[in-house]
Homo-oligomer: A and B are copies of this chain.
Protein backbone atom coordinates (compact mmCIF):
# COMPACT_ATOMS: atom_id res chain seq x y z
CA UNK A 1 0.00 0.00 0.00
CA UNK A 2 1.42 3.37 -0.96
CA UNK A 3 1.88 6.18 1.56
CA UNK A 4 -0.94 8.07 -0.08
CA UNK A 5 -3.34 5.22 0.48
CA UNK A 6 -2.21 4.77 4.07
CA UNK A 7 -3.67 8.18 4.93
CA UNK A 8 -7.19 7.31 3.85
CA UNK A 9 -9.77 4.97 5.30
CA UNK A 10 -8.74 1.41 4.47
CA UNK A 11 -12.38 0.40 4.17
CA UNK A 12 -14.84 1.64 1.59
CA UNK A 13 -18.30 2.75 2.70
CA UNK A 14 -21.03 0.18 2.06
CA UNK A 15 -23.85 1.54 -0.08
CA UNK A 16 -27.21 0.15 -1.14
CA UNK A 17 -25.82 -0.98 -4.48
CA UNK A 18 -22.37 -2.14 -3.36
CA UNK A 19 -23.62 -4.14 -0.38
CA UNK A 20 -23.23 -7.90 -0.78
CA UNK A 21 -26.77 -9.21 -0.31
CA UNK A 22 -26.35 -12.91 -1.00
CA UNK A 23 -23.95 -14.75 1.34
CA UNK A 24 -22.75 -11.49 2.98
CA UNK A 25 -20.02 -13.37 4.86
CA UNK A 26 -18.18 -13.56 1.53
CA UNK A 27 -18.18 -9.76 1.14
CA UNK A 28 -15.16 -7.51 1.61
CA UNK A 29 -14.95 -3.73 1.45
CA UNK A 30 -11.27 -3.43 2.20
CA UNK A 31 -9.35 -1.20 -0.24
CA UNK A 32 -6.23 -3.39 -0.24
CA UNK A 33 -8.25 -6.53 -1.06
CA UNK A 34 -10.15 -4.75 -3.84
CA UNK A 35 -6.96 -3.31 -5.34
CA UNK A 36 -5.18 -6.68 -5.24
CA UNK A 37 -7.99 -8.38 -7.17
CA UNK A 38 -8.10 -5.57 -9.74
CA UNK A 39 -4.33 -5.70 -10.16
CA UNK A 40 -4.29 -9.46 -10.78
CA UNK A 41 -7.16 -9.45 -13.28
CA UNK A 42 -6.58 -8.73 -16.96
CA UNK A 43 -10.07 -8.16 -18.32
CA UNK A 44 -12.99 -6.32 -16.76
CA UNK A 45 -16.62 -6.53 -17.80
CA UNK A 46 -18.16 -3.08 -18.18
CA UNK A 47 -21.92 -2.86 -17.75
CA UNK A 48 -24.02 0.08 -18.82
CA UNK A 49 -27.60 0.64 -19.91
CA UNK A 50 -28.89 2.47 -22.97
CA UNK A 51 -32.64 3.09 -22.67
CA UNK A 52 -32.93 0.23 -20.12
CA UNK A 53 -31.06 -2.14 -22.45
CA UNK A 54 -28.01 -3.50 -20.60
CA UNK A 55 -24.69 -4.07 -22.36
CA UNK A 56 -21.74 -6.00 -20.87
CA UNK A 57 -18.47 -5.49 -22.76
CA UNK A 58 -15.10 -7.06 -21.90
CA UNK A 59 -12.14 -4.71 -22.02
CA UNK A 60 -8.67 -4.13 -20.62
CA UNK A 61 -8.11 -1.66 -17.81
CA UNK A 62 -5.51 -0.15 -15.53
CA UNK A 63 -5.47 1.20 -11.99
CA UNK A 64 -3.67 4.21 -10.54
CA UNK A 65 -4.38 4.63 -6.82
CA UNK A 66 -8.11 5.01 -6.28
CA UNK A 67 -8.96 5.28 -9.98
CA UNK A 68 -9.76 2.64 -12.55
CA UNK A 69 -9.05 3.57 -16.17
CA UNK A 70 -10.50 2.11 -19.33
CA UNK A 71 -9.66 3.24 -22.82
CA UNK A 72 -10.38 2.72 -26.46
CA UNK A 73 -11.32 4.32 -29.71
CA UNK A 74 -13.54 7.40 -29.51
CA UNK A 75 -15.71 5.56 -32.07
CA UNK A 76 -16.65 2.68 -29.77
CA UNK A 77 -20.30 2.45 -28.69
CA UNK A 78 -19.24 1.71 -25.14
CA UNK A 79 -16.94 4.68 -24.79
CA UNK A 80 -19.32 7.05 -26.55
CA UNK A 81 -21.99 6.02 -24.04
CA UNK A 82 -19.82 6.06 -20.95
CA UNK A 83 -18.33 9.48 -21.60
CA UNK A 84 -21.82 10.93 -21.08
CA UNK A 85 -21.28 10.19 -17.39
CA UNK A 86 -23.89 7.44 -17.25
CA UNK A 87 -23.87 5.02 -14.33
CA UNK A 88 -21.58 2.09 -14.92
CA UNK A 89 -20.83 -1.20 -13.18
CA UNK A 90 -17.38 -2.71 -13.75
CA UNK A 91 -16.74 -6.28 -12.62
CA UNK A 92 -13.46 -8.21 -12.46
CA UNK A 93 -13.60 -11.94 -11.70
CA UNK A 94 -10.69 -14.27 -10.92
CA UNK A 95 -11.60 -17.93 -11.03
CA UNK A 96 -9.40 -19.74 -8.51
CA UNK A 97 -10.83 -23.24 -8.63
CA UNK A 98 -13.70 -25.63 -8.97
CA UNK A 99 -15.31 -26.87 -5.78
CA UNK A 100 -16.47 -30.44 -6.23
CA UNK A 101 -18.90 -31.62 -3.61
CA UNK A 102 -20.29 -35.09 -3.05
CA UNK A 103 -23.64 -33.81 -4.30
CA UNK A 104 -24.29 -31.92 -7.53
CA UNK A 105 -26.30 -29.39 -5.52
CA UNK A 106 -23.30 -28.26 -3.49
CA UNK A 107 -20.86 -27.86 -6.38
CA UNK A 108 -19.38 -24.38 -6.34
CA UNK A 109 -16.42 -22.31 -7.50
CA UNK A 110 -13.66 -20.55 -5.63
CA UNK A 111 -13.28 -17.05 -6.93
CA UNK A 112 -12.39 -13.48 -6.12
CA UNK A 113 -14.48 -10.78 -7.73
CA UNK A 114 -14.76 -7.01 -7.48
CA UNK A 115 -17.77 -4.94 -8.48
CA UNK A 116 -17.28 -1.18 -8.91
CA UNK A 117 -20.15 1.32 -9.23
CA UNK A 118 -19.96 4.92 -10.38
CA UNK A 119 -19.92 7.28 -13.32
CA UNK A 120 -16.91 7.52 -15.59
CA UNK A 121 -15.42 10.83 -16.67
CA UNK A 122 -13.17 11.65 -19.63
CA UNK A 123 -9.52 12.21 -18.78
CA UNK A 124 -8.58 15.53 -20.39
CA UNK A 125 -5.33 16.29 -18.60
CA UNK A 126 -2.42 15.15 -20.79
CA UNK A 127 -0.25 14.06 -17.87
CA UNK A 128 -3.04 12.00 -16.28
CA UNK A 129 -3.85 10.48 -19.67
CA UNK A 130 -0.25 9.40 -20.22
CA UNK A 131 -0.12 8.01 -16.67
CA UNK A 132 -3.27 6.01 -17.44
CA UNK A 133 -1.77 4.66 -20.69
CA UNK A 134 1.33 3.62 -18.74
CA UNK A 135 -0.92 1.92 -16.18
CA UNK A 136 -2.68 -0.09 -18.93
CA UNK A 137 0.60 -1.36 -20.30
CA UNK A 138 2.23 -2.06 -16.95
CA UNK A 139 -0.95 -3.71 -15.69
CA UNK A 140 -0.96 -6.25 -18.52
CA UNK A 141 2.81 -6.71 -18.96
CA UNK A 142 4.70 -5.38 -15.93
CA UNK A 143 8.13 -4.08 -16.88
CA UNK A 144 7.39 -3.47 -20.56
CA UNK A 145 6.72 0.31 -20.55
CA UNK A 146 10.43 1.17 -20.44
CA UNK A 147 11.13 -1.08 -23.45
CA UNK A 148 8.39 -0.43 -25.99
CA UNK A 149 7.95 2.59 -28.24
CA UNK A 150 5.91 5.07 -26.18
CA UNK A 151 2.73 6.76 -27.42
CA UNK A 152 3.14 9.80 -29.64
CA UNK A 153 1.10 12.94 -28.92
CA UNK A 154 -1.12 11.96 -31.85
CA UNK A 155 -1.73 8.50 -30.40
CA UNK A 156 -2.50 9.98 -26.98
CA UNK A 157 -4.92 12.44 -28.58
CA UNK A 158 -6.58 9.64 -30.56
CA UNK A 159 -7.28 7.51 -27.51
CA UNK A 160 -10.28 8.11 -25.31
CA UNK A 161 -9.44 7.42 -21.65
CA UNK A 162 -12.17 7.21 -19.04
CA UNK A 163 -11.65 7.35 -15.30
CA UNK A 164 -13.85 5.69 -12.70
CA UNK A 165 -13.32 6.42 -8.98
CA UNK A 166 -12.79 3.33 -6.83
CA UNK A 167 -14.91 4.74 -4.03
CA UNK A 168 -17.99 2.52 -4.25
CA UNK A 169 -16.91 -1.06 -4.67
CA UNK A 170 -17.05 -4.44 -3.03
CA UNK A 171 -15.20 -7.71 -3.30
CA UNK A 172 -16.66 -11.18 -2.97
CA UNK A 173 -14.45 -14.15 -2.21
CA UNK A 174 -14.95 -17.88 -1.81
CA UNK A 175 -12.09 -20.15 -0.80
CA UNK A 176 -11.62 -23.67 0.49
CA UNK A 177 -13.36 -27.01 0.50
CA UNK A 178 -16.93 -27.89 -0.45
CA UNK A 179 -19.67 -27.81 2.14
CA UNK A 180 -21.77 -30.95 1.86
CA UNK A 181 -24.90 -32.03 3.66
CA UNK A 182 -23.82 -33.89 6.79
CA UNK A 183 -25.29 -37.20 5.61
CA UNK A 184 -23.37 -37.01 2.34
CA UNK A 185 -19.91 -37.04 3.96
CA UNK A 186 -20.20 -40.82 4.30
CA UNK A 187 -20.65 -41.29 0.54
CA UNK A 188 -17.70 -42.86 -1.33
CA UNK A 189 -17.46 -39.90 -3.72
CA UNK A 190 -14.34 -37.80 -4.25
CA UNK A 191 -14.74 -34.21 -3.04
CA UNK A 192 -12.36 -31.30 -2.86
CA UNK A 193 -11.01 -28.37 -4.78
CA UNK A 194 -9.51 -28.38 -8.26
CA UNK A 195 -7.38 -25.20 -8.34
CA UNK A 196 -7.29 -23.33 -11.64
CA UNK A 197 -4.73 -20.77 -12.75
CA UNK A 198 -3.96 -18.72 -15.82
CA UNK A 199 -0.54 -19.65 -17.18
CA UNK A 200 1.50 -18.44 -20.11
CA UNK A 201 2.70 -20.84 -22.80
CA UNK A 202 5.89 -20.29 -24.77
CA UNK A 203 5.89 -16.86 -26.45
CA UNK A 204 5.13 -16.85 -30.19
CA UNK A 205 7.32 -14.32 -32.03
CA UNK A 206 5.75 -12.01 -34.58
CA UNK A 207 6.47 -13.52 -38.05
CA UNK A 208 8.18 -10.26 -38.98
CA UNK A 209 10.47 -10.23 -35.92
CA UNK A 210 14.21 -10.47 -36.55
CA UNK A 211 15.29 -13.89 -35.26
CA UNK A 212 18.11 -12.39 -33.17
CA UNK A 213 15.64 -10.50 -30.91
CA UNK A 214 15.06 -12.66 -27.85
CA UNK A 215 11.96 -12.31 -25.66
CA UNK A 216 12.77 -10.03 -22.69
CA UNK A 217 12.50 -11.33 -19.10
CA UNK A 218 9.04 -9.79 -18.63
CA UNK A 219 7.82 -12.07 -21.44
CA UNK A 220 9.88 -15.16 -20.62
CA UNK A 221 8.91 -15.17 -16.94
CA UNK A 222 5.38 -13.87 -17.27
CA UNK A 223 3.06 -14.86 -14.43
CA UNK A 224 -0.35 -13.73 -13.29
CA UNK A 225 -0.88 -15.72 -10.12
CA UNK A 226 0.20 -13.04 -7.68
CA UNK A 227 -1.62 -14.67 -4.74
CA UNK A 228 -0.02 -18.04 -5.21
CA UNK A 229 3.40 -16.43 -5.60
CA UNK A 230 4.10 -18.37 -8.80
Residues of A150-177 contacting chain B, CB below 8 A? 150-152, 155, 159, 177
- SS of A interface (majority): mixed
Tell me if A148 and B103 are in contact (CB < 8 A).
yes
Which residue of B107, B134, B137, B222 contacts A140 across the interface (Cβ within 8 Å)?
A: B107
Cβ–Cβ contact B195 & A201, under 8 A = yes
Residues in B with CB closer than 8 Å to A45 are 45, 47, 56, 58, 91, 93
| Alpha-carbon distance A43/B66, docked complex (angstroms) | 27
Q: Would A144 and B100 be within 8 Å (CB), given that A76-B21, A149-B189 are in contact?
A: yes
Residues of A that sit less than 8 Å from B by CB: 17, 21-22, 42-43, 45-49, 52-58, 60, 72-73, 75-77, 87-91, 93, 95, 97-98, 100-105, 107, 109, 111, 113, 115, 117, 133-134, 136-137, 140-141, 144-145, 147-152, 155, 159, 177-178, 180, 184-185, 187-210, 213-216, 219, 222, 224
